[in-house]
Structure 1
Amino acid sequence: MAFARNYESTEPARHDVDARAGPAVIEFGAPWCGHCIAAQPAIEVAFATHDDVRHVKVEDGRGQPLGRSYRVKLWPTLVFLRDGEEVARIVRPLTAAPVAEALAAIDPPADA
């Protein structure tokens, strides 16, 4: 699946996120958010070697239940999940390195 360019029009339900098997990243933000736009190149670079990680971009906002269930305060916030469990979280990444490190925690290289 790899890097998602667009925000989903509807967010998934928390119980569906919790039940999902395998590695996934939920990115909370908004398409008009300057911090979100600035972070996209770094996020895309980090995802380049993680094609099997599901990346879901959720357009977050006041009263949105999924973002509130993860206590998202700033955008973008990336929540890294393995089998529905949060493994790592990064807020407002500026470089690919921390994103790549968190991706490796949920989707280790085959030779590891």
Structure 2
Amino acid sequence: MPYAAQHLVQPPSRDEVDQLAGTTVVEFGTPWCGHCQRAQPLIEGALKDRADIAHIKVEDGPGQRLGRTFGVKLWPTLVFLKDGKEVERLVRPQQAADVQQALQALAG
């Protein structure tokens, strides 16, 4: 499941995220966030051909619990998981190299 362009209608629970097998990038943000919009080409470029990495795009904000369980404070925040455990975190990526470097942490 490579790059996901749309936010999930119903985000997974924290228990579901913790149970994920393999490598996953959970992206927290909103469709209207300027920082999120600017980061999309970087995220898409890094994930579009990566069928080995699941991308879960979660709309964050008031009343959205999943982001709070991860301590998300700024958007976009990308949490890189291996078998449900956080390996790396990237907040407001500015360059494609930032995302690539975080993806390399998943492989290591």
Please list every run of 5 or more consecutive structure 2 residues that lacks an aligned counterpart in the other structure. none
Please state if 1:70 is matched with 2:70. Answer: yes
The alignment-based identity, stated in percent, is: 56
Encode CA deviations 1:49-107: one digit per residue, 9 max, x unaligned.
42210000000001211000001000000000000000000001111111111112214
- Give the whole-Å Cα distance in 2 for the aligned partners of 1:44 and 1:107: 19
- Give the whole-Å Cα distance in 2 for the aligned partners of 1:48 and 1:34: 21
Give the TM-score taking structure 2 as reference length: 0.95
Is the Cα contact below 8 Å between 1:53 and 1:107 reproduced in 2? no
Please list every run of 5 or more consecutive structure 1 residues that lacks an aligned counterpart in the other structure. none
1:86-97 aligned at under 5 Å gives the runs 86-97=86-97
Q: Which residue of 1 aligns with 2:99?
A: 99
SS in 2 for 1:78: strand
Runs (4+) of structure 1 exceeding 4 A deviation are none
Is the Cα contact below 8 Å between 1:42 and 1:96 reproduced in 2? yes
Deviation at 1:18, TM superposition (A): 0.3
- Give the whole-Å Cα distance in 2 for the aligned partners of 1:19 and 1:48: 24
RMSD: 1.1
